[in-house]
Amino acid sequence: MKASLPERVKGVCCPVAIPLPSARVDASVEVLKALADPTRLQMIGVLKRAADPVCICDFTAAFDLSQPTISHHMAKLKEAGLVEVSRVGIWAYYQLARHLEPKTRALLEVLV
C-alpha cells in the first residue's frame, strides 16, 4: 500500500522542497483560470472542432446565458491569448489563436 516513506526524526522537520520557476507557473495559471469554467471550456471545445471561425452569436444561441455574459467569457479567453477575433461587418468571428505555444496546444489536445 504505502510507498517507501522517508525517514524522519522528530525535530528535524523539514528538509527542503524546491518549487518550480514562478514565471512559468504564473503563465500556466493564467491559462488554467481561463479554462476553469464550464462555459469557456465548452467554447474552446467548439472552436477546436470548428473548421472555420465561429460567429459569437452562435454561442449566445447555444449557451443559455445572456449576450453580455457570453461576450464577457469570450473576452476572458481572448485576454488569455487562447482565441482571436475577426470582424466582418457587424459580426464577430472567433477562432483558436494560431500562435499558441506548443504546451498550450498540447493542453487543449488533452482537454477538449
Partner DNA sequence: CAGACGCATAGACAACTGTCAATGGAGTTG
Partner DNA sequence: CAACTCCATTGACAGTTGTCTATGCGTCTG
Instruction: Please identify which residue in 66, 72, 79, 111 interacts with a copy of itself, judged by CB under 8 A.
Output: 111
Whole-number Å distance between alpha carbons of 96 and 76: 13
> Which 3 state secondary structure label does DSSP give 36?
coil
110 binds DNA, rule: CB under 7 A: no
Residue ranges in 29-68 that form contacts with a copy of itself under rule CB under 8 A: 29, 32-33, 35-38, 41-42, 45-46, 50, 52-55, 57-63
Q: Are 112 and 44 in contact (CB under 8 A)?
A: yes
To which H or E segment does residue 91 belong?
Answer: strand 91-96
Q: How far apart are CA 11 and CA 93, in angstroms?
A: 61
Residues that bind a copy of itself (CB under 8 A): 1-6, 8, 13-20, 22, 25-26, 28-29, 32-33, 35-38, 41-42, 45-46, 50, 52-55, 57-63, 86, 88, 91, 93, 95, 103, 106-107, 110-112
